[in-house]
């Protein structure tokens, strides 16, 4: 299969709920998001709250299968964008898996 994208890891296009928990400041306020794509080194999310670039979050994505563990990682915001339709999106780089 031909792959034109010049990334080191393939991205999986998904559409699943994710929970982002700030690790610095944020008074423990959880941020609800929809994870739209996921790779071995990062993920993209759509959300209602603005994320600060450089912010660290614990990212949780529940598994729908008992055979697969839930996704649990620490990630850093590397991109935060307001889209043309007014929605907010962010790109996060995975720092470590928990």
Digit-by-digit pLDDT tens for the chain (98 residues) are: 344 445 555 667 789 999 999 998 766 689 999 999 999 899 999 999 889 999 999 999 998 888 989 999 999 999 999 988 888 999 999 999 99
In this structure, are residues 70 and 38 in contact, taking their beta carbons and an 8 Å threshold? no
pLDDT given for residue 27 in this prediction: 65
- What is the Cα–Cα distance from 8 to 36, expressed in whole angstroms? 18
pLDDT given for residue 2 in this prediction: 42
Which residue from 49, 73, 58, 61 is spatially nearest to 17, judged by alpha carbons? 61
pLDDT given for residue 79 in this prediction: 96
- Map out the domains of the chain with their CATH numbers: 12-97 (2.40.10.220)
- What is the Cα–Cα distance from 90 to 56, expressed in whole angstroms? 12
């Amino acid at each position: 299969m031909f792959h034109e994208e010049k990334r080191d890891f393939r991205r999986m296009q998904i559409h699943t709920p994710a929970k982002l928990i700030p690790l610095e400041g944020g008074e423990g306020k959880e941020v609800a998001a929809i994870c739209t794509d996921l790779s071995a080194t990062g993920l993209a999310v759509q959300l209602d709250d603005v994320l600060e670039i450089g912010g660290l979050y614990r990212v949780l994505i529940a598994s729908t299968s008992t055979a697969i563990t839930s996704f649990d990682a620490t990630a850093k915001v590397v991109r935060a964008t307001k889209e043309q339709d007014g929605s907010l999106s962010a790109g996060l780089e995975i720092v470590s898996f928990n």
